[in-house]
Amino acid sequence: MVFVSAEIGINHNGDVEIAKKLIDLAVFAGCDAVKFQKRDIDKVYSKELLDSPRDSPWGNTQRDQKTGLEFSMKDYKIIDNYCKSKKIPWYLSCWDVGSQISMRKFKTKYNKIASAMLVHEKLLQTVAEEKKYTFISTGMSTIKDIDNAVKIFQDYKCPFELMHSHSSYPMAIEEANLNLITTLRKKFKCDVGYSGHESLSDLVCITAVILGATSIERHITLDRAMYGSDQAASLGPQGLFRLVQDLRKLTKLYGDGKKRIWDSEKPAMKKLRERLT
């Protein structure tokens, strides 16, 4: 069955109570896990960018905005306990080595490499040495970039799964290029999932699974009109519930590939073939 991650990311807007509601939404919809992001903004972004202007609920600079969206270790302790109480796994994509090391205390089951960090070899090595099952997003990357990342995980004997992804928010449907799922699976001989940033339609995710995607990751939100750069490319409550239900039905539709006459067909068979001449 396809593994479905609800990407909360930064859609909690720095509010633990909103994060709890998003966790509740993921549980209600039937997701397999929820995912967050963690970064040390001074290591990930330049001082020039952080000092540049940006209006937000937290102030008028990029630093104000990005600081406002980051959870503290105390916040993540609350999230860890809440996810345990709801019986849903949680994990993160960390954007710097220090964050990855600091988050080890929570002993999450999975790791995630964000597309932006696919070329950060030191971070990849730090993640791979943990030997946790890792989802590796491949947006805005070349085959050579992906090959280098795969070799790191293979060298560390760390289990992984590539994820086809497109790093625009929202993604234009004509740029989905879902046949790349097959290309990646054949070239790297591994499972390949799909991390989507398209708008409301679940057609892309459904097609990805039909083409063999073993996992789906989608951003979720309480309201697509909320403040935040990721909200518009996220699924709201109804969209998430519909997607997960459709994915579960899709798994049942495949069957085992064996031809048989179903018991439910037999009345029709008796009626329609009764007077064959």
In a domain, 277, yes or no: no
CATH number of the CATH domain containing 176 = 3.20.20.70
Most confident segment among 79-83, 170-174, 272-276: 79-83
- pTM value? 0.93
In a domain, 12, yes or no: yes
In a domain, 35, yes or no: yes
Structural domain tally of the chain? 1
- pLDDT for the residue numbered 200: 64
pLDDT tens for each residue of 164-217: 999 988 888 899 999 999 999 999 999 999 999 887 678 999 999 999 999 999
**Cβ contacts of 243-249, under 8 Å, gap ≥ 24:** 243/4, 243/29, 243/202, 243/205, 243/216, 243/218, 244/4, 244/29, 244/30, 244/31, 245/29, 245/30, 246/202, 246/206, 247/2, 247/4, 247/205, 247/206, 247/209, 247/216, 248/1, 248/30
User: How far apart are the C-alpha atoms of 197 and 167, rounded to whole Å?
Assistant: 7
pLDDT tens for each residue of 38-67: 999 999 999 999 999 999 999 999 999 999
Amino acid at 66: K
In a domain, 95, yes or no: yes
What length does the chain have?
277
3 state DSSP class of 60: strand
User: How far apart are the C-alpha atoms of 209 and 164, rounded to whole Å?
Assistant: 12
The answer to whether 16 touches 79, Cβ cutoff 8 Å, is yes
Nearest to 139 by CA among 104, 87, 175, 90: 175
In a domain, 200, yes or no: yes
Q: Containing domain of residue 163, as a range?
A: 3-272
Q: Which of 23-32, 173-182, 223-232 has the lowest mean pLDDT?
A: 223-232
Amino acid at 242: R
